[in-house]
Amino acid sequence: MGTVYRAEHTVLGSPAAVKILLPQFTQDPVVVDRFFQEARAASAIRHAGIVEVFDFGRLATGQAFIAMELLRGEELSSFLARRGTLDASLAVQIATQMLAALNATHLVGVIHRDLKPDNVFLVPDPGAPGAVRVKILDFGIAKLIGRPLAGQPGRPRTKNMILGTPAYMAPEQCRGGADIDARADLYAVGCLLFELLTGRPPFVASGDGEVMAMHIYEPPPRLSNLAPHLPVELDALLAKLLTKDPADRIPSAAYALATLERAPVAPMVGEVALSGAHYAIGPAAHAALLAEAEGSPPSEPMPRWIPVAVIGGALAIAVAAAVAIGIT
C-alpha cells in the first residue's frame, strides 16, 4: 500500500525513513487518518525507547507521508529466531526497557495495542545495559485517549472492531471491547516476556480464532512449570500480567517495572551482539514481500526530505514496513 524511502533532510543532511502511501489509498480518509494517527501517537511521546517522528503531511501530489527516525539494528523477532530462549538477565533487561517506554507512552494517553516481536527493535547503544537499546515501533493502531479517530462519513466505526495480533492480544481485545486501556499493553508485555523466557508465547494454536479463544477462556501456563529454574518472582509477575480480568491485572507499566526490577536476576555482563545491517521503520513481518519490493521516487519532491534510496514497500494499513539491507 506504499513505499518506504531512506531519505535525507534537504538542508541538514540528517537521515530519516519516509513512508509514503500510494495515491489510491490516499483517497480513503479512514486509511489516511489511521496513517496519520501513527505519527500523532509517536510524536506525542518523548522517550529514548520510542521511534521519533520528525514530520508528516501530504506531498504536492496529495500523497500522505511520515518522516521518522531511521534505525539500524535488529528486530526482536529476528533476534529470537537466531538466539532462541534468552537468558533471564537479557530477557528481563528487554522487558524493563519496554516497560519504561510504555510508561512514558501511557502517561501521555497513548495505548499501543499491537506489541509483538516485530514491533520491538534492538539498536546498538553503548550507554544501555548490554549496549543494546530497545525501541518500540509501529503505532499504526494505537489508541489516543480523548482523541478518537475521525470516522469516514457514511462508514461508521465498528464499536466491536478487533485490532491487534492474536498471539499477544489481551482477552478484552480478543472480545472486541471498546474500553481498551493501558492494561492491554501490559498483558502483551506478559506474553512477550513469557516468550523471551520459554521460547514460545503463552498460547499456541493452528488458527488465530483458536488462539484468541484461549486468551479469553484458558488459564495461562505457569512459568514455573516450563522453566522451574527461574526465580519465583518472575512466575508471580507473569501470572499478574496475564490475568484475564484487567481489574485484577498489574495496574500500570510503572508498577510492573518496579516489580521486575526487584526480581533476583543477575545483571547483564558484556555486550549483546546484533546480527547484520538492518534498517527498520516498522515490523519485518513480510520478509518475502520486502525482499522483492520495488518502488520509484514520487513524481513531486517532498517538502523537506529528499529520497535517496527505496528501502521497502508493501505497507499494511497504517502499519510501517521494515527492511534488511545487505543481508545474505
Q: How far is Cα 88 from Cα 104, in angstroms, rounded to an integer? A: 24
Backbone angles phi, psi at 136, to 5 degrees: -95, 130
The residues assigned a catalytic role are 114
Q: How far is Cα 24 from Cα 28, in angstroms, rounded to an integer? A: 8
Three-state secondary-structure class, residue 114: coil
CA dihedral 50, 77, 289, 139 (to 10 degrees): -30
The answer for residues whose C-beta is within 8 angstroms of residue 119's C-beta and 6 or more apart is: 112, 136, 137, 138, 282, 283
Q: How far is Cα 81 from Cα 111, in angstroms, rounded to an integer? A: 27
Which triple of cell numbers denotes residue 328? Answer: 545474505
Q: How far is Cα 320 from Cα 4, in angstroms, rounded to an integer? A: 8
The answer for residues whose C-beta is within 8 angstroms of residue 137's C-beta and 6 or more apart is: 51, 119, 120, 121, 280, 281, 282, 283, 320, 322
